[in-house]
Structure 1
Amino acid sequence: MKTFFRDNGLSVVTLGLFLVFWAAQALTGFQVHNSDLEEHGRAALSFGQYLGTGHFWEATGENWESEFLQMAAFVLLTARLYQRGSAESNPLPDEELPPQPKPDGPVPGPVRRGGWAAQLYGHSLSLTLLTLFAVSFVMHLLGGTAEHNLEEALHGAPPISVLEFLGSADFWQQSFQNWQSEFLSVGAMVVLTIFLRERGSAESKEVEVPHRHTGK
């Protein structure tokens, strides 16, 4: 067990924290949603019923959407663009690269097969992240439409379609407020790793490395 955690501690802790905070979101959202229903004279929902509401899935999809967009964009941009001195950038073409060690272990199956499988595998990370972004975008859209229509019903207004909600300022304001913050955090990480260090972190250059050194 100790060896398993040593080898997988980063994923175990980050995914564990994700589940803890998602559960906390659900519990607090459940309380907020029922409070809103009771203020409008509606019956409160059970926790299981709440997990099927637009309120829960709008909040979930809205945040996942921005995270996967950020990561997909970062993967694609760092494959093509540079930032001199940043730990988050590939070395610049005019910088001398250190000798690269030979891969340790078996080559991935798609690479061994070659052809289209190797080509697809060579972009599998960005394609998967973009797919997760698209799924989260739809989750946000459908959950947001359901939540919007519930709010309208509480105030005696007619419902709108998914396409109408997609074209609304409300939907895009929810998206843009998250997208801008994600790219702010990425941009801050790119720039701050030029000048600042965190000893032992894979996201930082070595403490003794000059500011102009690009890459890890």
Structure 2
Amino acid sequence: MPAHRRAASRLGDWLYAHGLGLALALLFVLSFLLHWMSSAATRNADALAHGQPAIPAYAHLGDPTFWFESFQNWQSEFLSTAVLVVLSIFLRHRGSPESKPLAASNRDTGE
């Protein structure tokens, strides 16, 4: 197999192995950026409606209201993610290819 195909295969294997983490990181970054832009647009619309000047989006990153909104969103997201993680540790779906058989001991499955 040529070297470039082996490298592509290794990259594909790495992306597959880390795909969930990469997808979640990408979703986090995208949701943060969308929240930042929409929050800045709402802040500027309110400011203009009250005769105040608009501020650039990068300046909105220093606004305490933006961070309050962000932490309120993250709090609920972290709670729901934590529940999913904890439940996935303790609960199993019978016949799932991702988990060991329910009745199998750790000795039988190599854990």
| TM-score, normalized by the shorter chain, greater than 0.5 | yes
| 1:23 to 1:68, Cα distance in 2 relative to 1, 3 A | same
| Correspondence list, 1:191-210, <5 A | none
Q: Is 1:38 matched with 2:48? A: yes
Higher relative contact order (CA 8 A, sep 6+): 1
Give per-residue Cα distances to partners, 1:54-112, cap 9 Å, x unaligned. 23212210011112233445628x75xx7xxx73xxxxxxxx72233123xxxxxxxxx
- CA-based RMSD of the aligned residues comes to 2.4
Q: Is 1:99 matched with 2:105? A: yes
- Cα distance, 1:13 vs structure 2: 1.2
- Which ranges in structure 2 are unaligned for 5 or more consecutive residues? 1-10, 94-101
| 3-state SS, counterpart of residue 77 of structure 2 | helix
| 3-state SS, counterpart of residue 97 of structure 1 | coil
Using structure 2 for the length normalisation, give the TM-score.
Answer: 0.66
Q: Percent identity?
A: 25
CA distance in 1, matches of 2:30, 2:79: 23
- Which ranges in structure 1 are unaligned for 5 or more consecutive residues? 88-95, 104-216
Give the number of the structure whose residues are more often helix, by fraction. Answer: 2
Give per-residue Cα distances to partners, 1:142-178, cap 9 Å, x unaligned. xxxxxxxxxxxxxxxxxxxxxxxxxxxxxxxxxxxxx
| 3-state SS, counterpart of residue 62 of structure 2 | coil
Counterpart position of 1:61 = 71
CA distance in 1, matches of 2:73, 2:38: 16
Q: Is the 8 A contact 1:37 1:43 kept in 2?
A: yes
Using structure 1 for the length normalisation, give the TM-score.
Answer: 0.36
| 1:17 to 1:69, Cα distance in 2 relative to 1, 3 A | closer
The number of residues matched between the two structures is 89
